[in-house]
Structure 1
Amino acid sequence: MGNRIFHKDSTTNDEEVVRLGSGAFGEIRLVTIPDEGRVASKALKGKTNNPWMESEATVQMAASHECIVKVFGLHKPRGMAEIAMEYMSGGNLHRLLLNKRKTLTFIQRHNMCYDVARGLEHLHNLPDGGCIIHNDIKPDNILLTQDLRCKIADFGCSKWYDEDGEFVDGCPKDLFCIAYAAPEKLHHHLFPFVDADNNVQQYHALIIEAVPASDLGLKDAYLPHESSDIYSFALLIYMLLYRRRPWSGSVGNFLAQVLRGERPETPKIYAKNSELKSAKTLLRLMLKCWKENIYKRPTSAEICLELQGLPSRL
């Protein structure tokens, strides 16, 4: 596929800009651009253009699907490239799940899970035979419509491969969120994380305690794999089920747990009889998806098959 990015110059009145959110690397604003109207605009922090922006937009446009946030292209409202994408008025899944005043049935949670699974199935099995590994599946990167339809967003860490496994485009580095990273990624990237006390020694000690790489299904050098998205998806299911973060405490503590083959605790789930099937299916699926060995986790296509026969959207 060729480069389908289009560039548009646009100007915005700062008084009309609504800031939707911000993160470690940038911010999302609601702006108006010619021809497209009101869109969400992603800008990286800093005062220089970043070539990764075009790669991110290219990959996300190639991933076009109803369960993936639509990208319109790049525009330059302030002289620097920003990604223009559809505005998702429901916010992100992380914020919704931690808002205990918002009630969610297990059937609604099942449907959200199914939306994300369908998006992943499309990414991992592109129509042209290629594959996109998202590399950053987490509730923060799942955006919602007003009626709680979920779409996958933020392709800043993603990698696009053709049907022969050759790299096409995407992030040139292997970036990911530590809290949702699969064990095989952490094994490969045992770079010295530094906590608030600048304590590095505990991370060196973890190498001795870690599960052997062979138990993870790693034979030789680590290569990005769709199964890493599936592990992250399991932790997303965890948040859907329990409405709390999968890990607590310091980075060192949960990193040690993951590398020792441990998983977040799974308290008993209480559900109405009419929702019991959905709750049990999500729990069973979560346990499958966070298996240690990458080849024992289900594929995104298998996950969709398991979810599609459950209750319809309410």
Structure 2
Amino acid sequence: MNYKETVKYLFSLLPIYQRIGKAAYKKNLNNTIELDKFFGHPHKFFKSVHIAGTNGKGSVSHFLASIFQEAGCRVGLYTSPHLKDYRERIKINGIEIEEDFVVEFVKRAKPVIEKIKPSFFELTVIMSFVYFKEKKVDLAVIETGLGGRLDSTNIVLPLVSVITNISFDHSEFLGDTLEKIAKEKAGIIKPNIPVIIGEKKKRTFEVFKNVASEKKAPLIVASDKYKVDYVTELPNGYINLNVKDYDGNTVYKNLKSSLKGQYQIQNIITSIVTIETLNEKYKLNISRNDLYKGYGTSAQY
């Protein structure tokens, strides 16, 4: 099969939500674990940041990937869905996975595909993990597809987990209340691994607090640490903003983001706190200059 035939195969023969709906949703990680085993547990060969949420997770993922690249890292980025080309889902340093890799991966996976009949999403997640392993990324930013607890990405053991915000999202799978949805998203919280919560909301925060407590995971609320008091849109379409702490100190002045819109404000704060947490806990030494440059180039991702 060539690339076009391979992508057609992925979409037409494997269960996918957009085509068959709820039947594509697997209520366990068994297939993902089996695929991971078949390929030699690729998720264990790179460091990661794991991101869930109803809105904002894509922007936060792109912000972080851009900042990590500015810091000199070889950065994998897994996101979904794609807009035009399947390869948009899997990138290293902003460059999409090669068509040849997609074709060869599916050939390699044929025995396990025929055995367990994984979903489109399950196979794509493992493809990204194999790609990141074989291309030797330093760090991968992994965005969940749906929910968190049972999402195929949830086999990773990240440096930090990030949950952006919660609203009604795929209620037929995740639950019909915000609390139930939050519980599913909180499934990405790992024992003793810091978790960043983007926004504190009354109906969902207790869920995150309780799960983090049970797992002894340090919990940091981004919106409790910083706020934005000045925003303007520049002639080039970028937004320019000042980030302050709650003592009134300007911590980041004239921070410019190439991802546009007022709604990006909380995503910027969430990603700043994530970078600071990584620096504090793991000594990644991501500089302020890396951070400023990363926001400026994030739209390229």
Same fold (TM over 0.5): no
- Larger relative contact order, structure 1 or 2 (CA cutoff 8 Å, min sep 6): 2
- TM-score normalised to structure 2 length: 0.24
Higher helix share: 2
